[in-house]
């Protein structure tokens, strides 16, 4: 890419010019313009998963556990029930699963439907957040402020890009471990894709930095109220019980993830042909197989510096606003619900915002408008860029809705309790070491069906907690084993919106991501099973 004789700012703000676009958000996942046949798109993968799960529900009998006064399942109370759904009703559940996955409401009876009264179960909040993020990316990228800034930073880092990877991954992992930082990472693709490209790294490096950084932290949660908090509440133990072991696991897995991504990034930087995901380009006219982006201007204008300041403020405010500070540092903590992002038993600090997707969506919309005003864009251009940015995010939005729809199918066919009952039978009557190992393993397929950490914990822990007493295993250790299995599955599950949505935003195919991540998954699985097995044997 060559630079113009005019200042980058003037060229970008010219009404007749075509601004550089945000990182591609196509759901096809290969990041290229080629039409060759290959691995199916993310939308197709999730469509196949939804049909496969629906077919399975035709053969899995409906069943139900009794619940206590708090709504927790009672171990040993499972009974099969006659399904009230006809075959036509089941077909309707499949066809309407994307709609229910978008804005379905769960009622007091546990059924999800758009006509219900109750709490929002669908992912419409995430979808609106993604669209607003696309608008902000489109407007801010049109000023070329980020493009020039990351080129300057990349030039300064030189061969020390690994430091940036390490710092970002440790930060994301820490946030994931303490407050479940995951979906919020969508906003950082706009920053890291061009930054990694400027340093000489590819798309997969950015994906690995974001996904493994955040999800390894969530997997090795220490005081995360949305996983450990809920599980501890259901098991009736303190959220701090077992934190020593969880800190050790977090340290080991985070270090492993950082080294894994840095090793891959350095290999790609030395030899671009080793890239799995292809390289990001602001022009989007490459086939993803070429080397890093060409040199761009590295000096920002006054307007671009203002845009950078606004961008930094928006992203920092986003992080600050979603952290449940009182649940992490307060004297009292409790379980949390990631449907409404509220923590029970924790009185908010005076500075705590407790924002979630509605507020975050408006934050990015307002941020886009402020950037447009500061950059002196005309009304038509600003509105056009906002519309274009939202359009670019339709692919990831569809993927997120489909993933949520899979959970709706299992929920509404009343087959989820039957799956839980099978898990209960598997872990009953085993030794301590075998029990913790099985707990981690059997919760992996359950995490595929229930990606929500709080939802998974709410269903599984009331069953696992009493069983751990019979096996002679501390309940806190059972919680850790449960969380390891849940988190490991979420690192590659196509029903996890953090993975499948992030790949769609980055323009990386799911098959390519699996090719990249499988060695890490194998090593992490062995380490986790060894650690929890040994801990159970010696406790």
Is 64 part of any domain?
no
Cβ atoms of residues 162 and 266 within 8 Å:
yes
**Upper half-sphere CA count for residue 257 (Cβ side, 13 Å):** 35
Domain that holds residue 207: 123-397+413-536
Q: Is residue 66 part of a domain?
A: no
Total domains, the chain: 1
61, 415 contact by CB (below 8 A): yes
Nearest one of 190, 147, 189 to 20, comparing CA atoms: 147
Q: What is the pLDDT of residue 8?
A: 37
Cα 487 to Cα 528: distance, rounded to the nearest angstrom = 11
Residue with tokens 């439907």: 113
- Is 144 a domain residue? yes
Three-state DSSP state, 342: strand
Q: Is residue 405 part of a domain?
A: no
> What's the CA angle centered on 121, arms 115 and 126, to 5 degrees?
120
Directed axis angle between helix 475-490 and helix 432-449, to 10°? 40
Task: Say what the pLDDT of residue 407 is.
Answer: 83
Q: Could you tell me which of 183, 192, 190, 270 has the C-alpha nearest to residue 218?
A: 183
For 185, which DSSP code? G
Token readout for 106 is 């769960």
Give how far Cα 109 sits from Cα of 351, 487, 527, Å.
37, 28, 40
Q: Report yes or no on 77 lying in a domain.
A: no
User: Residues near 133 by Cβ (< 8 Å), separated by ≥ 6?
Assistant: 186, 187, 190, 364, 393
Instruction: For residue 323, tell me if it sits in a domain.
Output: yes
Q: How far is CA 79 from the centre of its chain?
A: 34
Comparing C-alpha atoms, which of 292, 277, 288 is closest to residue 206?
277
Nearby residues of 244 by Cβ (< 8 Å), 6 or more positions away? none
76 in helix, strand or coil?
Answer: coil
Three-state DSSP at 64 gives strand
269 within a domain of the structure (yes/no): yes
Query: How many whole angstroms separate alpha carbon 420 and alpha carbon 134?
Result: 38
Helix (H) or strand (E) holding 119: strand 119-120
- Helix 394-412 and helix 416-427, axial crossing angle in degrees, nearest 10: 70
Q: Report the distance separating Cα 20 and Cα 282, nearest Å.
A: 6
Residue 52 to residue 178: CA distance in whole angstroms = 35
User: What is the predicted pLDDT for the residue at 230?
Assistant: 76
Q: Is the dihedral of CA 243, 244, 248, 251 positive or negative?
A: positive
Phi, psi torsion values for 79, nearest 5 degrees: -140, 140
Tokens of 332: 């009292």
What pLDDT is recorded for position 481? 94
Q: What is the layout of strands, in order, in the sheet containing 119-120?
A: 112-113, 105-106, 119-120
> How many Cα atoms within 13 Å fall on the side-chain side of residue 452?
24
Per-10-residue mean pLDDT, the chain, length 539: 37 39 44 55 84 93 84 82 92 94 88 90 87 89 80 74 90 85 82 87 96 94 79 79 90 97 95 92 50 55 91 85 69 50 65 85 94 93 94 85 86 88 84 91 88 79 82 90 94 91 92 96 94 88
Residue ranges of E strands in 299-361: 336-337, 342-343
Smallest CA-to-CA distance from 233 within 83, 319, 346 is with 346
Cβ neighbors of 96 (< 8 A, separation 6 or more) are 114
Query: Alpha-carbon Rg of the chain, whole angstroms?
Result: 23
Give 308-315 contacts, CB < 8 A, sequence gap 24+.
308/145, 308/146, 308/149, 310/140, 310/367, 310/370, 310/371, 310/374, 311/140, 311/145, 311/146, 311/191, 311/367, 311/371, 314/136, 314/363, 314/364, 314/367, 315/187, 315/188, 315/191
Backbone angles phi, psi at 529, to 5 degrees: -65, -40
Q: Tell me whether residue 75 is exposed, middle or buried, using C-beta atoms within 10 angstroms of its C-beta: 0 to 12, 13 to 18, 19 or more.
A: middle
In-domain check, residue 261: yes
Query: Rounded distance, CA 79 to CA 68, Å?
Result: 15
Instruction: Output the six-digit token pair for 486.
Output: 């849940």
């Amino acid at each position: 890419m060559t630079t113009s004789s005019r200042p980058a700012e003037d060229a970008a703000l010219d009404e007749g010019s075509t601004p550089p676009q945000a990182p591609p958000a196509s759901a096809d996942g290969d990041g290229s313009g080629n039409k060759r046949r290959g691995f199916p798109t993310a939308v197709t993968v999730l469509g196949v998963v939804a049909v496969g799960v629906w077919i399975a529900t035709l053969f899995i009998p409906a069943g139900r556990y009794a619940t206590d006064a708090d709504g927790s399942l009672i171990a040993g109370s499972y009974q099969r029930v006659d399904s009230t759904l006809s075959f036509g009703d089941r077909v309707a559940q499949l066809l309407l699963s994307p709609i229910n996955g978008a804005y379905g409401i769960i009622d007091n009876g546990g059924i999800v439907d758009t006509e219900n009264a109750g709490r929002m179960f669908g992912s419409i909040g995430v979808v609106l957040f993604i669209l607003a993020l696309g608008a902000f990316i489109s407007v801010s990228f049109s000023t070329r402020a980020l493009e020039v800034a990351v080129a300057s930073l990349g030039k300064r880092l030189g061969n020390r890009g690994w430091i940036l990877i390490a710092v970002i991954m440790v930060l994301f992992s820490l946030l994931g471990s303490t407050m479940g930082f995951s979906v919020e990472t969508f906003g950082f693709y706009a920053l890291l894709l061009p930054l990694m490209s400027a340093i000489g790294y590819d798309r997969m490096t950015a994906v690995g930095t974001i996904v493994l950084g955040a999800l390894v932290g969530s997997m090795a949660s220490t005081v995360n109220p949305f996983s450990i908090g809920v599980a501890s509440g259901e098991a009736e133990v303190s959220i701090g019980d077992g934190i020593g072991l969880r800190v050790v696991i977090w340290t080991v897995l985070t270090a492993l993830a950082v080294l894994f991504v840095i090793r891959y990034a350095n290999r790609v930087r030395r030899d671009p042909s080793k890239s799995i995901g292809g390289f990001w380009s602001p022009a989007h006219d490459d086939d993803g197989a070429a080397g890093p982006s060409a040199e761009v201007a590295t000096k920002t204008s006054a307007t671009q510096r203002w845009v950078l300041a606004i961008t930094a403020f928006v992203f920092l405010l986003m992080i600050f606003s979603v952290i449940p500070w009182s649940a992490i540092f307060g004297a009292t903590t409790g379980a949390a619900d990631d449907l409404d992002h509220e923590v029970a038993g924790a009185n908010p600090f005076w500075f705590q915002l407790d924002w979630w997707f509605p507020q975050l969506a408006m934050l990015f919309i307002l941020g886009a408008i402020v950037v447009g005003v500061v950059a002196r864009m005309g009304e038509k251009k600003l509105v056009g860029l906002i519309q274009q940015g939202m359009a670019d995010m339709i692919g990831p939005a569809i993927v997120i809705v489909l993933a949520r729809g899979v959970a709706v199918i299992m929920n509404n066919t009343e087959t989820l309790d039957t799956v839980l009952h099978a898990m209960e039978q598997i872990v009953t009557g085993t030794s301590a070491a075998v029990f913790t190992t099985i707990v981690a393993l059997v919760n992996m397929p359950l995490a595929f069906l229930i990606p929500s950490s709080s939802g998974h914990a709410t269903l599984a822990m009331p069953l696992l907690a009493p069983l751990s007493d019979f096996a002679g295993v501390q309940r806190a250790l059972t919680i850790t084993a449960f969380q390891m299995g849940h988190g490991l599955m979420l690192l590659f599950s196509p029903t996890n919106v953090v993975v499948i949505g992030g790949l769609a935003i980055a323009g990386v195919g799911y098959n390519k991501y699996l090719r990249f991540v499988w060695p890490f998954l194998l090593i992490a699985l062995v380490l986790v099973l060894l650690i929890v097995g040994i801990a159970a044997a010696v406790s």
